[in-house]
Amino acid sequence: MKVEKRTLFEYKQQNDFLNKLNEVQRIAVESPIKQQLVLAGPGTGKTTVITFKTIFLLLNNNINPEKLLILTFTNKAADEMIRRIKQYTNQKIPYIGTFHSVIIKILRENLPIKTTQYSINDKINIVDEEEKIEIIKNILSKNKNKKKHNPYMISNIISSIKNGIPVKVKNDEIEEIIFEYNHFLKKINSLDFDDIILCMNNLLTENKKTKEKISNKFDYVIIDEFQDINKTQFEFVYHITGREKAIFAVGDDDQSIYRFRNSDVEIMLNFKKYYPESELIILKYNYRSGSKIIKTCSQLISFNINRFEKNILPFYSKNDEVEIRIFKDEENEFDYIAQKINENKDKHIAVLCRTNDVGKEIEKNLIKRGINAKFVGNYDFFERKEVKDIIAFLKVINNPKDDLNLIRILKNYFKLKKSELNKIIAKMEEKNVIDVLEEENFEIYTKINELIKKQNKSVDTVLEKIIELTEKNEINETFLSFVNNFCKNNEKNDVESFLNYITLIRMNNEQKVEKKNKVWIMTMHSSKGLEFEVVFVCRVKQGVIPHFKTSDDEKEEERRLLYVALSRAKEKLYITTPVPPSEFIIPLLN
């Protein structure tokens, strides 16, 4: 690809964006050192620095946009970077997005794939988290002895193993369940989320020619939220960069809160070990909060030992407030929160807590006190049964061997009798369901097969045919509008492309909390990346945070979680709890 010379307009744009940076941000953006770790604490302009670094490379260094690999952990972050980059340059970056979306794209470009663990011919079919649990439940239901096992625990074990986390499997039954799960995925030609990156790493490890081809595609790797990276993700990155290639990693070790998703903060803390020639830059100016809030957050996190030292300063002078209140019981705590909310009615307010259960309890009690409060949970439009059924149908059209979803549509769309379903399920050990339907001369097979033939057409055309098989309703029409919008905005709009898109956006489900006339209640984890004028961090109680199940080596992450919650506040921060208060906030009382 030929890179055009910069126009006078582009020179002016370049100078314009550089003038928007503070001196430390500008050092990070303009530094000629090709390997950098940038520590970006809350409100220090992380997205600005990543975006402007990208623009600087495009406009000043004439980097070919196809040679950039930009990896994020959320669709929201990727979309925001793309939007900002478009303001300053007309160039399109093909490889920007979440780890999973970018790796799926690269895998597709290298089909067919043959490794010791994976064999993929012409399509990448993805099993989402809900389907993963359903597969495990089906395996457990077949054996009385296995029914005692928790499917969610099994799912976590499988994920940990695939992400290179040492797991002691004490039970032969669990090993059998894991084997059966992986065997079933192969039977239905599918990968789970963890397989996507593991498959890529297998390919890069086992095929030198392919590794050279993929590694040579990129000259510069940029990573957002580097503290959230896990071992398999970093293995992929290191395959691309080695010790020599350019990398710009931005994150904050003090905000590493996803250990339960296998993220490993040690990778960030040991960045110099992997890249000995690298430069460390600390963004020190916080644009979000005032000095009192920053001081409280800094004091809290200073008790962690395993971290980079930082001295965060407020960029603006603000009249901010911090209050810490301890109550004799929950009712007094709720009364106080309601009173303070009423005093700040015109503000953007959030109430943050440790768990979903506590969040729902807070919602109920604030509503009871006349507060317009809403708990932000994980339920969304795609969780509706009707939508799940449509997605199941699309998955079968894309991958006829998808037994799990084919059984679902036989039950929900074609209303097959239980006796007929049981007859099919009994043969599933030896054959795929679609083959059983064909052999039994089911009329249903003909209808499904007609739709399978349309899998390469645009997904909106296929969806209209599916809707013809059922009653038209508001949910179907809403989903069709969503699909039409996808087809307008994406050149590749076949069924497979749409399913990959929808799986990834559901995986990175991000909440919108924009309205000021509502009090938003959410967990501390859900608040990551958000900011509010007024923040209540409540039930900061011993046994809640740190959680009573927390081991000694997990306490630092629990403190980081509280740090993330406190640092969401722009103007006012209220820390509340019934007795006994958390050991984390006792030092803050002085």
Looking at residue 2, what is its pLDDT?
A: 41
Strand locations in 318-372, DSSP E? Answer: 321-327, 349-353
| DSSP one-letter code for 190 | E
Element (H, E) at 247: strand 246-251
Q: Is residue 349 part of a domain?
A: yes
Final residue of a structural domain among 466, 486, 508: 508
27 and 76: one domain?
yes
3-state secondary structure of 150: coil
> What contacts 83, CB < 8 A, 6 or more positions away?
none
Q: Is residue 117 part of a domain?
A: no
Q: Is residue 116 part of a domain?
A: no
CATH number of 358's domain: 3.40.50.300
425 and 534: one domain?
no
Torsion sign, CA atoms 116, 121, 124, 130: negative
31 and 102: one domain?
yes
Residues pairing with 542 in the sheet: none
pLDDT truncated to tens, each residue of the chain (590 aa)? Answer: 444 444 444 545 555 778 899 999 999 999 999 999 999 999 999 999 999 999 999 998 889 999 999 999 998 899 999 998 988 888 899 999 999 999 999 999 999 999 999 999 888 999 999 899 999 999 998 877 667 888 999 999 999 999 888 888 777 888 899 999 999 999 999 999 999 999 999 999 999 999 999 999 999 999 999 999 999 999 999 999 999 999 999 999 999 999 988 999 999 999 999 999 999 999 999 999 999 999 999 999 999 999 999 999 999 998 999 999 999 999 999 999 999 999 998 999 999 999 999 999 999 999 999 998 989 875 557 777 888 888 999 999 999 999 999 999 888 888 888 888 888 888 887 889 898 888 876 788 888 888 888 888 889 888 888 887 776 667 777 888 888 888 888 888 889 989 988 888 776 655 666 666 789 999 999 999 999 999 999 999 999 999 888 888 899 999 999 999 999 999 999 999 999 999 999 999 87
Nearest to 96 by CA among 88, 85, 87: 85
The whole-angstrom separation of Cα 259 and Cα 215 is 29
Q: Is residue 253 part of a domain?
A: yes
71 and 140: one domain?
no
The whole-angstrom separation of Cα 542 and Cα 105 is 46
Q: Is residue 182 part of a domain?
A: yes
Final residue of a structural domain among 442, 474, 508: 508
Token pair 């795609």 is at which residue? 382
> What contacts 329, CB < 8 A, 6 or more positions away?
578
Looking at residue 170, what is its pLDDT?
A: 72
Strands 519-523 and 373-375: parallel
Token pair 């029409």 is at which residue? 477
521 and 498: one domain?
no
Distances (CA, A) of 578 to 299, 325, 561, 581: 22, 9, 19, 7
220 and 158: one domain?
no
Q: Is residue 112 part of a domain?
A: no
Element (H, E) at 29: helix 23-30
418 and 483: one domain?
yes
410 and 502: one domain?
yes
Q: Is residue 160 part of a domain?
A: yes
460 and 411: one domain?
yes
The whole-angstrom separation of Cα 551 and Cα 561 is 15
CATH number of 439's domain: 1.10.486.10
The whole-angstrom separation of Cα 435 and Cα 237 is 41
Q: Is residue 111 part of a domain?
A: no
Looking at residue 91, what is its pLDDT?
A: 87
Q: What is the tally of structural domains in the chain?
A: 4
For 358, the domain range is 291-372+517-588
389 and 481: one domain?
yes
Final residue of a structural domain among 218, 253, 283: 283
400 and 349: one domain?
no
Q: Contact, 44 vs 285, CB < 8 A? A: yes
19 and 60: one domain?
yes
